[in-house]
Amino acid sequence: MRTREPEQVTIAVDTDRRVSGLLRVPADARACCVVAHGAGAGMMHPFMASLAEGLAERRVATLRYQFPYMERGAKRPDAPAVAQATVRAATAAASRLVPDLPLVAGGKSFGGRMTSQAQAASPLAGVRGIAFLGFPLHAAGRPSDERGRHLLDVHIPMLFLQGSRDRLADLQRLRPLVGRLGARATLRVFDDADHSFHVPARSGSSDADVRARMLDALADWIALVSGP
């Protein structure tokens, strides 16, 4: 299945829940990234749309999808068990939709954390690595590494893309955690960027510049973990 524009798909989480997805597969795709949204905005958010477009330009297909709470318009995120089941259903759907492409998974903030929790509980079939677009290590202003302890049970490559001003991931907490994960973890820090990868004008950079560098880093890592 190859499509220049996003194609709507439906993903069955269980017998009672269905969620929407958007599959975008460039003609020369070399891998597929199954990507989940953050806690406060769904798969149609401009960040998610630009991520899919940028990866398509870099020969990476995407399947972005909703969590059930976002699908029904609720503000409170799903319980971890439901969110993890959704991650598992989405990666299984990607395996069926693009069976010839290597898979990686991950997401923005909450979506990346739920993906890694699912992987820690039981490996996601066919997934070769997990990418975090701003890992939410702790609540704002409350530095801790508790939310990252499950990562020690993730035994596939992980990529952390983090802003240096991210109030949900104090680098003095995140760097030691990544160090404990060893060679399977890679950390890329973007100077002056916050949790949404926004940079202030005084930084001398722009959101577009940061986004391009982030996408390059993500695409290069996907190529590396996807193998020949």
Q: Which pLDDT does position 56 carry in this prediction?
A: 96
Amino acid, res. 169: A
Q: What is the β-pairing status of strands 103-108 and 185-190?
A: unpaired
Domain that holds residue 74: 3-226
* Blockwise average pLDDT, block size 10, the chain, 228 residues: 77 95 95 95 94 96 97 93 97 97 97 97 96 92 85 97 93 94 96 90 85 96 90
The predicted pLDDT at position 77 comes to 94
The model carries a pTM of: 0.94
Bridge partners (DSSP) of residue 7 are: 23
What pLDDT shows up at residue 187?
A: 97
User: How big is the CA angle at 91 (ends 213 and 118), to the nearest 5 degrees?
Assistant: 90
CATH number of 116's domain: 3.40.50.1820
Residues 6 or more apart in contact with residue 213 via CB below 8 angstroms? 190
In this predicted structure, what is the pLDDT of residue 145? 82
Please report the pLDDT score of residue 2 as a whole number: 55
Handedness of CA 127, 128, 132, 138 (dihedral sign): positive
Question: What pLDDT shows up at residue 32?
Answer: 98
Write down the pLDDT at residue 146. 83
Number of domains in the chain: 1
What is the per-residue pLDDT for 34? 98
Would you call 38 helix, strand, or coil by DSSP? coil
pLDDT at 228: 67
Q: Are 138 and 167 in contact (CB under 8 A)?
A: no
